[in-house]
Structure 1
Amino acid sequence: MTLVLVVDDDIQIARALRINLSARGYRVAVAHDGAEALRAAAKARPDLVVLDLRLPGTDGISVISSLRAWTVTPIVVLSGRTDETTKIAALDAGADDYVTKPFGMDELLARIRAALRRSAVAARQADEPLVDTGSFSVDLGVKKVWRQGAEVHLTPTEWGMLELLVRNRGRLVTQKQLLADVWGPQYAGRSHYLRIYIAQLRQKLEPDPARPRHLITEPGMGYRLA
């Protein structure tokens, strides 16, 4: 049975989440501060974490970063903070989704199901070196790309971007992560690099670069391989 760790210092919200998740067949563990959340995650190894950001002691962003140091467990943020800066910080730290309070329980449950599905797909795909999008195929083992049966030449930087998107296919890869992994942490503010190189990849790989089907922009956040 799927175990969900709920982390929220609001007793009523935590109780409501426990009741609703339990009623739908989930096992539920609850923590009310950041330190307790990290201990519970290490001990219980949940399948998904629902996390508030405003927590006593260790804040939610720090909890996300600490979890991402050792686990890929999906993290759905549930927060009253609606500013874009906070959302980006949470996603950059490793959150998989962000839901703002007040929230609809049905929407939150749908987000949880979606995050669990993506996690299951990622686990199955982890050992699959060959990825076929339907428009082009990528072999991570030999670092080659084909489109319509012909090999496509990519520059080292283009390959670096594509490889990161392929390894995280279906999931958002933030601008910060792309810049740090492909160019280096000193390039954190050079988001125009991403626009240039994603355009080049679309020209080489998308059937219609002006209407991309696979290399998708998530405005203000990053990119996703669909």
Structure 2
Amino acid sequence: MKIIFIRLINCVLILMLGIEVYSQDLRIYQTPLEWNKERDSLTIEYLNKRHGIHQDDATIVPTMVVVHWTANDSYEKTMAIFKSPFLNGRPELLNQSRLNVSSQYIIERDGTIFQLLPDTIFARHTIGLNYCAIGIENIGSNSMPLTKKQLNANARLIKYLSAKYPIKYVIGHHEYGQLKNTSLWKETDLNYFTNKIDPGDKFMKGLRRKIRKLKLQKLPTNE
């Protein structure tokens, strides 16, 4: 437990120093969310109550990447939403979903990549799959389609992550329901599900074409 805690602190300290990570043509700007005792305890609580996973730390083993859009028009607005450790910024809410939404990455419309949390730290972004998924939020919406620069940045980032972790699946947020009846799905509330449209089939088709050499697994329909 002590070793895990030290590793977690080291990851957060690296992010807080604002270090830029380079890999070939990839540049990642570190703009960390504050990781405090509240966010840590809420995350462990969420893992327990919503995913049925009992552990003493907020770590994950990434095997999946989920691609989103933010439904707003700026990195600043997205960070403002993620800032509080509490959902909707309200610590008085006592239901089992008090942990705020978040993501490991945000990609701006010009393709700039920001990292908010270490890859192996839990973020709440996709029902049923947070325990194994790295989230990538792209600034955009249905009325503000994602850009070619964002498409290229997603592809570079996913290639980078696949070289570091045993990534098996890359899915769009709108596709996550296809995993509901598989062993990958871990959600204790069977009624907790919302339909999503982001980032859309067109974007994911283009993304899969760019990362096809990774030979990732296709979405399972039954396991």
TM-score between both structures, scaled by the size of structure 1: 0.28
Q: Indicate the structure with greater strand content.
A: 1
Please identify the structure whose Cα radius of gyration is greater. Answer: 1
TM value normalised by structure 2: 0.28
Higher relative contact order (CA 8 A, sep 6+): 2
* Structure in which a larger fraction of residues adopt helix: 1
